[in-house]
Structure 1
Amino acid sequence: MTGKVALITGAARGIGLATAKLMLGRGWQIAMVDRDEEELLAAAGELDGARPFACDVSVADQVHETLSAVLAAFGRLDAVVNNAGVAEFGPIEKTGFDTWRRVMATNLDGVFLVSQAAIPALKETRGALVNIASISGLRASTLRVAYGTSKAAVIQLTKQQAVELGEYGIRANCVCPGPVRTKLAMAVHSQEIIDAYHDAIPLNRYGSESEIAELIAFLCTEQASYVTGQIIAADGGFESTGVGLPALRT
């Protein structure tokens, strides 16, 4: 057992849940945070060493109450994984301000609020922040004006955190997943989209939740003790392809 505690937002499903399971298996205790209380309780109920905390990360009062509850329950905090996010896609001219604000509130404001509330505890442990952005924050894509912009902002926020918090021994890094084979992605991606990603990604496949979780977990550990301010794309080489055409590779 490491005796260490990680707080993971968006932990009821997907990458957040995969990360919680992986880190639990390596001796961490996990504070699982999600606004979907029913799904959160169901997920946490099957995991030994994890405790659920229902919280909407876009609401400042809820965030502060949750951080207090986590510290009361565990007594310390060694890592924060800001994974909670929402995705709403549509053309720029049809993206209403209410949609823009919903995306920003969770994807950007939530990262800021949770990180800021956790700083005092992370100072005590010289802990780690790992923010989950997206390949959409590194390269523009159609229909993602709010989502992509929010994730690009998370990338810059991570750099700010690394620069300002490094003197306290707090490391801040950002993981940018590419296409990942989640239940949600498979439900909304047509076969045409799946085939197109296959052709565009050098590794010719989607990533898995567990592959992203491995990187997140590594960045939380002492093995990454000299890594901070880094933006790491876990995307099968997608971001590196630039304008290269798959047809020209062979």
Structure 2
Amino acid sequence: MRYAGSVALVTGGASGIGAATVRRLLREGARVAALDLAAVKESTDDVLPLHCDVRDETAVEDAVGAAVAWGGRLDLVANVAGVASYQHTTEVALAEWDRIIGINLTGTFLVSRAALPFLVATRGAIVNVASLAGVRGWRYSAAYSAAKGGVVALTRSLAVEMAPDGVRVSCVCPGSVDTPLRAGLRAVPNPHPRLDGIGGALIDPPVADPAEVAAAIAYLGSAEARFATGAVLRLDGGAGV
């Protein structure tokens, strides 16, 4: 019950890592505002489902305000919402670039910015979900890698800026996770044979369960991780070694 009496906000809370994080935080005693464009499946008095496009500045500010009004405080923000695609860079349309950057990076910025005044009041924490693709080169994912690399840099910058106010900011960098996002990725046509098998996990099975990532998020956002800020935690099964 590390989160007893606490209020958390989780983006992307309808599925995958976000839904697993909602469940984990509930189990540890938090009340959770879950933001998503899809319907949030968890239905209890301790969950506030909020329909929100994290790219929309006004919608984000309204959602964060609604979460604080509902919970009376804000102790943790978990920025999980994200999208990805595999494409040859020469075939990436600007609209697709904007979509991936907007949801993964701009959304993380907008939610964090809106939440910071409330987190200062509670000396709370932000945990962002980046990716292995944000800390090492990854084939056919220029937009996604740029977005997640930006999330890592944003995490570190905010960690420095907010340290005097007692707000900790860290991120997790998963590798392959069994989520709808992963299931929806299409293989790149005509991949170069030299790029096959690069960056494979060392752990068997090589795909993580969303609950494993949620456990790391719950730790980094808790008081037990008091000395962790600016942390970039890889959860990649050794693929980035």
TM-score, structure 1 normalization? 0.88
List aligned pairs for 1:107-186, cutoff 5 A.
107-186=104-183
TM-score, structure 2 normalization? 0.91
Note closer, same or farther for the CA distance 1:91–1:189 as it changes in structure 2 (3 Å cut): closer
- The Cα of 1:186 is off from its aligned counterpart by 4.0
Instruction: Check conservation: 1:136, 1:148, Cα contact below 8 A.
Output: yes
- The Cα of 1:154 is off from its aligned counterpart by 0.4
List aligned pairs for 1:27-38, cutoff 5 A.
27-36=29-38
- The Cα of 1:139 is off from its aligned counterpart by 1.3
Structure-2 separation of matches of 1:199 and 1:157: 24
Q: Which shows bigger deviation, 227-236 or 85-94?
A: 85-94
List aligned pairs for 1:1-250, cutoff 5 A.
2-36=4-38, 39-40=39-40, 43-45=41-43, 47-186=44-183, 188=185, 200-204=200-204, 205-240=206-241
- The Cα of 1:180 is off from its aligned counterpart by 0.8
Q: Which runs of 5+ in 1 are unaligned?
A: 191-195, 241-250
Residues matched between the structures, number: 230
Instruction: Check conservation: 2:175, 2:236, Cα contact below 8 A.
Output: yes
Q: Which runs of 5+ in 2 are unaligned?
A: 188-195
- The Cα of 1:238 is off from its aligned counterpart by 1.0
User: CA RMSD, aligned part only?
Assistant: 1.8
In the other structure, the counterpart of 1:193 is none
Q: Which shows bigger deviation, 226-235 or 178-187?
A: 178-187
Instruction: Check conservation: 1:103, 1:147, Cα contact below 8 A.
Output: yes
- The Cα of 1:183 is off from its aligned counterpart by 3.9
Structure-2 separation of matches of 1:214 and 1:137: 20
Instruction: Check conservation: 1:44, 1:51, Cα contact below 8 A.
Output: no
- The Cα of 1:198 is off from its aligned counterpart by 11
Structure-1 separation of matches of 2:103 and 2:178: 22
- The Cα of 1:237 is off from its aligned counterpart by 1.1
Structure-2 separation of matches of 1:13 and 1:33: 11
Structure-1 separation of matches of 2:48 and 2:66: 11
Question: Counterpart amino acid of 2:37?
Answer: R
Structure-2 separation of matches of 1:92 and 1:151: 16
2:54 is paired with a residue whose SS is coil
- The Cα of 1:22 is off from its aligned counterpart by 0.9
Instruction: Check conservation: 2:132, 2:240, Cα contact below 8 A.
Output: yes
In the other structure, the counterpart of 1:244 is none
Q: Tell me which of the two structures has the higher relative contact order, counting C-alpha pairs closer than 8 angstroms and 6 or more residues apart.
A: 2
Question: Counterpart amino acid of 2:161?
Answer: E
Question: Counterpart amino acid of 1:162?
Answer: A
Structure-2 separation of matches of 1:237 and 1:154: 21
- The Cα of 1:71 is off from its aligned counterpart by 1.0
1:56 is paired with a residue whose SS is coil
Higher helix share: 1
Structure-2 separation of matches of 1:124 and 1:13: 30
Structure-2 separation of matches of 1:17 and 1:61: 24
Question: Counterpart amino acid of 1:201?
Answer: A
Structure-2 separation of matches of 1:231 and 1:146: 20
In the other structure, the counterpart of 1:248 is none
